Chain A
């Protein structure tokens, strides 16, 4: 008697019909760029409603909600040579197309804060696609890279039809998704001028992987147990990363200093309220997180 193997029900269903999915952006045209000049030329040609597409982790979501309606996308992910972390004259350069995940897994002496902070960004698949330059260009006020470029006084390197220019991060973020970059410019890299061995970023959100309700970052220069210089930058308390006016120079590096600095920082901010927390709650978070970031930076 012949005996056929009955395919298990799962193997029989090869006959799936047309593949399609529920994505629903408004119509746009898609273009691919192969180098930076090509990108700039295409942006110029396509006009101010064209947008660069990098990792797509912010832009595509906004397009699906039709909150962003670019007429054209210029995909820069095929450009070679922009995916790097490079030590440079005591500082560090990070290429615009460097994925969050690459930063997370690359330890650079004096810049440990970057790889540690990367763990706070979204989830693993998002970190594998999202880019350093995209995050800076997107300019979310709680984004880890936006905070750290301001904290470490980095320079954003832009290239456009009028050439190359460098903008200090402290002047780059203009509030809710607005930056100093012109629509026809591309971020090519970010330059950190000097190492920050005593720096840390910490934040709070209810769920792992979410954007921070409040994020606090701190950098210290220490001599023995004394603070020489300090810098504190917050996210989630206003439309852009907020530099706190608290100078800890001359103070001892101890719990009491951190706690007082936290209180002082909280007193300076007037955060907005939304579904993730009221302004009053964000103030309390600020006090806690600044103290914790300072303690971690000093450790």
Chain B
């Protein structure tokens, strides 16, 4: 039955958020809470000669100053079990050497935030600055090493290498060589990182309330770094104000706070400010691609070779490792296009900059940009229509499931249908006429497309190919009905703005024939949920929601059994809808589900053995992954006088299989597209040659506002997935993945008459005028 799946149910979360009654870490300080402030390196590369904390200890209100040595040098090490990977250690507080500006070297704990800040200023560190590796070029040169003995290349993977490629390139009617670049960006969640750790004597546990996407992984990280059993740590994610990947890795500060709370036996809180968030947390997407592609005279791609270089910063993040970007890029570059011959080398280079982590889209904004630019370049050189060339190359209806040259099997999607519909919609909406109008007004104007699919919901069958020592993928849900017929669902996923309290309730309500308001989701608490991998990689609805559906289905089976017994009918004839257990074809006979729940709990002796003792079930899901897809189009204008680029209209036709809640899907698309436009036109984390961050406030890091983001029109197609319990496909990242390529193509369309072509993001006004 689907009464609720697909319905536009307003989000349960919204009311408390809009009333300012959400409960974020910063809302949780107790009266006796201490405040932490981190002492951070002012240099990108330096040896620590000494750390003198004596003056800081004298500051009024300061209780404790801790260095890495005081804590026993805790570290984390993320491991990929591959020869091509070099593991490196990340100390929780640097003790002998710092590798990026803002790296933490000590923590000051004080009675209030001001005193903590004053104490941090008073810590005296004797530094000896060293040479800096500011970028990939310097890392390649390897005159200086970020980690001794590594040559700066921490991962070097040749994923595919078709020996036929040189021949193909030599003989093809068209061979294109191009270099593509994307700047380093920040995921920039509205709430920065924040942690409150407290020791609980009753449970013998350190309880860590933290703004995270991955509570269990954080627990594992804290336990491993501090050498204590996982049982001694409880991680709770309260309301979390966004993450986008920045919070799917374990922060050093989280571990340090846990250690401090255990030592001081008092709650300790740390809420980072925006400057810390921009400089000391993780970044992503700083990549360059040197690509060769061959096409036949009709625009069909014949071969593709890519040298992919990722600037991964100073450390390998836990537990994903620094290989996450190069691996994704090298594996998935061909995307929706049928590439017959392929070679990809993916490398990750250490530099003296903040580490990178999986940021929404993880390399796919870049690989889509590469493929979509290649299509447009080939179209222009061959005189083929730029939209049509995609049709000639993409996986077409009837060809699914399609196994590509990269060994990936693409499940059924609507690649062609979404492109056709996008083209139809923008034509009907008069975009081409609007482009002409803008041009008559003296602006440059252009329309750009991007077509892509997005592998989502990686279970262990796919994640294991990466060979991470900690391989995420499965998730487990528990569904329990109480005596009043209401339900608590637990999940190992950990929503942080995606509306899971609503969408999981819709899924479970349909299985049990009850109202979503009768279903409450418990997530983000390692003591209350089974080990699970949290929320990232567009996994939650397919994996967590899939497990919840299975578990709810099992409970529904029990309910049907109970009803069958009480109504004296066959189990298969019992239907659960609208709060009643009815009998198929017999409209007048039914029992309220709440009555079944009451009897199971309070008069269980009246039931046959197999129906007794509660109504609960635990199930797991571990799918191979499923591809959602979309087509984006954008109309941009460029002011020839200032170089200002504005996205004016944006169209998305997306297909995420079965839609659980259109409101939530549209919200994800809009936010994602905004982040994609941001990456294409506004945002970049910059450093000077000494490795000093130069975009340290939101005056310099240009996150766009509502003033810069245009209206986004969204249309849906629904191609259900066979690999997903619900038929749904993940869709949390698509907006961010597709938008940069579409915007870049539109800019190039606008500037084509001037012979200018850009292959990098962001494109700045200055680029247009130079």
Contacts and interface: CB of A to CB of B under 8 A. Distances in A.
Interface of A: 8-11, 13, 16-18, 20-27, 65-66, 204, 206-211, 275-278, 280-281, 284-285, 288-289, 291-292
Contact of B15 (A8, A277, A285): A8
A40 to B, nearest CB: 30
Contacts of B19: 10
A20 B373 CA distance: 50
A211 B697 CA distance: 13
Interface string B693-707: 011010110101101
A277 B686 CA distance: 13
B29 A206 contact: no
Nearest to B120: A24
Contacts of A27: 114, 118
A13 B19 CA distance: 11
Nearest to B703: A207
Contacts of B16: 9-10, 13
Contacts of B21: 10-11, 13
Nearest to B688: A275
B28 A204 contact: no
Interface stretch (B136-144, B224-232, B245-253, B762-770): B762-770
Contacts of A23: 113
Contacts of B702: 206-207, 210
B644 A206 contact: yes
Contact of B705 (A9, A13, A208): A208
Given A11-B21, A23-B113, A206-B764, 15 more contacts: A17-B28, A18-B33, A21-B26, A26-B118, A27-B118, A66-B121, A206-B681, A206-B702, A206-B708, A209-B705, A211-B699, A275-B694, A275-B695, A277-B765, A288-B642
B653 interface: no
A275 to B, nearest CB: 5
A31 to B, nearest CB: 19
Residues of A contacting B: mostly: loop
A66 B273 CA distance: 13
A69 to B, nearest CB: 11
A281 B765 contact: yes
Contact of B641 (A206, A276, A280, A292): A292
B725 to A, nearest CB: 28
Interface string B108-136: 00001110011001000000000000000
A107 to B, nearest CB: 24
A209 B708 CA distance: 11
A18 B641 contact: no
Contacts of A26: 118
A275 B694 CA distance: 8
A23 to B, nearest CB: 8
A276 B765 CA distance: 10
Contacts of A281: 643, 765-766, 769-770
Of A9, A22, A289, most buried by chain B (CB within 10 Å of CB) is A22
A258 to B, nearest CB: 12
Contact of B707 (A209, A284, A288): A209
Contacts of B644: 204, 206
Interface string B378-418: 00000000000000000000000000000000000000000
A292 B117 CA distance: 47
Contacts of B275: 65
Of B31, B121, B702, B708, most buried by chain A (CB within 10 Å of CB) is B702
Given A22-B26, A206-B644, A210-B699, A278 B705 contact: no
B15 A22 contact: no
Interface residues of B, number: 43
A65 B114 CA distance: 12
A21 B114 CA distance: 10
Interface in B1-35: 15-16, 19, 21, 23, 26-31, 33
B170 to A, nearest CB: 41
Contacts of A291: 641
A207 B708 contact: yes
B630 interface: no
A211 B695 CA distance: 15
A26 B117 CA distance: 8
B766 A17 contact: no
Nearest to A288: B641
A280 B770 contact: yes
Given A206-B765, A275-B686, A13 B707 contact: no
Contacts of A280: 770
Interface string B261-278: 000000000010101000
A178 to B, nearest CB: 20
28 contacts: A8-B15, A9-B15, A9-B16, A10-B16, A10-B21, A17-B27, A17-B30, A17-B31, A18-B31, A20-B29, A20-B113, A24-B117, A25-B114, A65-B275, A204-B765, A206-B702, A206-B708, A206-B764, A207-B682, A208-B707, A209-B707, A210-B702, A275-B694, A275-B700, A276-B700, A281-B769, A289-B642, A291-B641
Closest 8 CB pairs of A and B: A288-B641, A208-B707, A10-B16, A281-B766, A24-B117, A10-B21, A10-B15, A204-B642
Of B28, B121, B697, B766, most buried by chain A (CB within 10 Å of CB) is B766
Contacts of B694: 275
Of A9, A11, A21, most buried by chain B (CB within 10 Å of CB) is A9
A207 B705 contact: yes
B688 to A, nearest CB: 10
Contacts of B764: 206
Given A22-B273, A207-B682, A275-B686, A284 B769 contact: yes
Nearest to A8: B15
B66 to A, nearest CB: 20
Contact of A24 (B114, B642, B700, B704): B114
Interface in B685-731: 686, 694-695, 697, 699-700, 702, 704-705, 707-708
Interface in B537-556: none
A18 B34 CA distance: 12
Of A65, A206, A211, most buried by chain B (CB within 10 Å of CB) is A206
Nearest to B682: A206
A276 to B, nearest CB: 8
A28 to B, nearest CB: 11
Interface string B24-59: 001111110100000000000000000000000000
Contacts of A204: 642, 644, 765
Contacts of A8: 15
A208 B27 contact: no
B285 to A, nearest CB: 18
Interface in B742-770: 764-766, 769-770
A18 to B, nearest CB: 5
A18 B112 CA distance: 12
B488 to A, nearest CB: 14
A278 B766 contact: yes
Contacts of A206: 644, 681-682, 702, 708, 764-765
A21 B24 CA distance: 13
A208 B118 contact: no
Contacts of B682: 206-207
A24 B30 contact: no
A65 B686 CA distance: 19
Interface in B280-336: none
Contacts of B708: 206-208
B770 to A, nearest CB: 7
B16 to A, nearest CB: 4
B668 to A, nearest CB: 23
A55 to B, nearest CB: 17
A19 to B, nearest CB: 9
B284 to A, nearest CB: 19
A277 B644 CA distance: 12
Of B708, B764, B769, B770, most buried by chain A (CB within 10 Å of CB) is B769
Contacts of B765: 204, 206, 277, 281
B271 A22 contact: yes
A204 B707 CA distance: 14
